[in-house]
A and B are shown apart, each in its own frame.
Chain A
Amino acid sequence: MKPPKFDYFDPTTVEEALDLLKEYGEDAKILAGGQSLVPLLNFRLARPQVLVDINRIKDLDYVRENNGTLAIGAMTRQRTLETSEIIRSKCGLLTDAAELIGHPQIRNRGTVGGSLVHADPTAELAAIAKALDAQMKIRSSEGERTVAAKDFFVTVMTTVLEPSEMLVEVEFPALAPSAGWAFEEFVLRHGDFAVVGVTTVVTLDAKQTCTELRLAAIGVDETPFRDPEIEGLLQGQKITDSLLDELAARVSEKVDPFTDLHATAEQRKHLAGVLAKKAIKKAEEAAILNLKKES
């Protein structure tokens, strides 16, 4: 239960880190907060020859607001999601969802970028990134590119990142003040990894008609599930129970989950629908409250 041997570098700038990635290519792995990678090392399920520890790159730990978006540096600790006032005011879904990530010891070390790049199929941050169309800023020593969250996650534990690349920032859109949101999870024990989770953002107009629904689910596919057709179901509609039942049925039908130790595929399908309904209801209630506050 201890890591295998590896060579270690702890660059203090992004450029240095990128040079190391270029040099060692597939032999290298980036070590961020370590909350996912170190268990894999302890089990010796991961055996990288080189670890590039980016904890000393101060430049990657920031939260900035620019023109209606929220830019979060890849090395921002998950704990910051809970404590940052900018995040709370611009994208409160991140604040509320943060407490679903592991437990405090995990969040004190675990990073926003680390979680996204690890691409665990039950990671909350991946669901939020996908639901909100977050933009992932990626760098290599050759240059920079930006990838939309929908294209970022490839499959279980795999993203579009090339061995020479690293995620440096993720940009979330600010949520409308009137929007309501929720993150609902099914867990086997409080605070556990989600078996299935659904996050949603509901926007209503003054007549409480739904103008936009965003919905992503985790634990039901290799990457976070999102479907424009399903989101369209509520477009321009008053949210009713029968509409939600229909939506839930569509979610259950469309997701393509797996069976593992914690749940069968069939149960996951069912849970995705149940949680979608629960989450939308909760988000709708929040949106109505926000509307009242505004008027």
Chain B
Amino acid sequence: MTYTIRLNVNGKEHTVEVPSRRLLIDCLRYDLGLTGTKEGCSVGVCGACTVLMDGKPISSCLALALFADGKEIVTVEGLAREDRLDRVQQAFIDYGGFQCGICTPGMVVTAKALLDENPDPSVDEIKEWMMGNLCRCTGYYKVIESIQGAARRKRQAGDSDEGL
């Protein structure tokens, strides 16, 4: 038996038929073709599958697609506007916040939610917020620098949303 769900992903409305057991990650990747969201551990430990549901980071491997019915989802594909990267994305490039890039979609989405809530996080606050996102390449030092860098640039830009 399948169910019809309606969800808004990155600002776009979708109607999808899913079996009850369809996980949100598979719905995003295979029903909607949004393969930016990655699957690592499948048990909510690694954070690679993190997406925002109604603005909050969640593990899409631990959510049924049915949970997303009527919700707003933001994935890594939804952060950049037109051809301009979000500050967090640009900072991860400039400060070396990734290497292989497999954890990066989850990292930038989680970091984006952090800066939306706390524009000037301390190192401890960054660690506390990001501890559900595993990275095996960077040793995390440059992840922290990237998030601090994005926060700094945002403060320097003031209210203006222009310029990175």
Of the candidates A8, A31, A38, which one forms a contact with B44 in the assembled complex, judged by CB atoms under 8 Å apart? A38
Tell me if B132 and A104 are in contact (CB < 8 A): yes
20 A-B pairs with C-beta separation under 8 A: A2-B23, A3-B21, A3-B23, A3-B64, A4-B21, A7-B20, A8-B20, A8-B66, A34-B63, A35-B59, A38-B23, A38-B44, A39-B44, A51-B20, A53-B66, A103-B132, A104-B131, A105-B57, A106-B59, A108-B58
A261 interface residue (CB < 8 Å to B): no
* Chain B neighbourhood of A102, CB < 8 A: 44, 132
A10 interface residue (CB < 8 Å to B): yes
* Chain A neighbourhood of B59, CB < 8 A: 35, 105-106, 109
Tell me if A38 and B64 are in contact (CB < 8 A): yes
Considering the complex of A and B, which 9 residue pairs feature the smallest CB-CB distances, nearest first? Answer: A103-B132, A8-B20, A1-B42, A3-B21, A108-B56, A38-B62, A39-B43, A191-B131, A105-B132
Tell me if A109 and B62 are in contact (CB < 8 A): yes
Distance in angstroms from A265 CB to nearest chain B CB is 25
* Chain B neighbourhood of A35, CB < 8 A: 44, 59, 62
Distance in angstroms from B55 CB to nearest chain A CB is 10
If A6-B21, A7-B1, A103-B131 touch, does A79 touch B56 (CB 8 Å cutoff)?
A: yes
A61 interface residue (CB < 8 Å to B): no
CA distance A213 to B3 in the complex (A): 52
CA distance A43 to B62 in the complex (A): 12
* Chain B neighbourhood of A79, CB < 8 A: 56
CA distance A7 to B43 in the complex (A): 22
Distance in angstroms from A132 CB to nearest chain B CB is 25
B101 interface residue (CB < 8 Å to A): no
CA distance A50 to B24 in the complex (A): 19
Among B7-30, those with CB < 8 Å from A are 19-21, 23, 26
A64 interface residue (CB < 8 Å to B): no
* Chain A 246-259 interface mask (CB, 8 Å, partner B; 1/0): 00000000000000
Tell me if B47 and A5 are in contact (CB < 8 A): no
Of the candidates A10, A51, A55, A108, which one forms a contact with B57 in the assembled complex, judged by CB atoms under 8 Å apart? A108
Tell me if A5 and B19 are in contact (CB < 8 A): yes
* Chain A neighbourhood of B21, CB < 8 A: 2-6, 41
CA distance A8 to B61 in the complex (A): 18
Tell me if A106 and B20 are in contact (CB < 8 A): no
* Chain A neighbourhood of B20, CB < 8 A: 5-8, 51
Tell me if B128 and A99 are in contact (CB < 8 A): yes
Tell me if A105 and B50 are in contact (CB < 8 A): yes
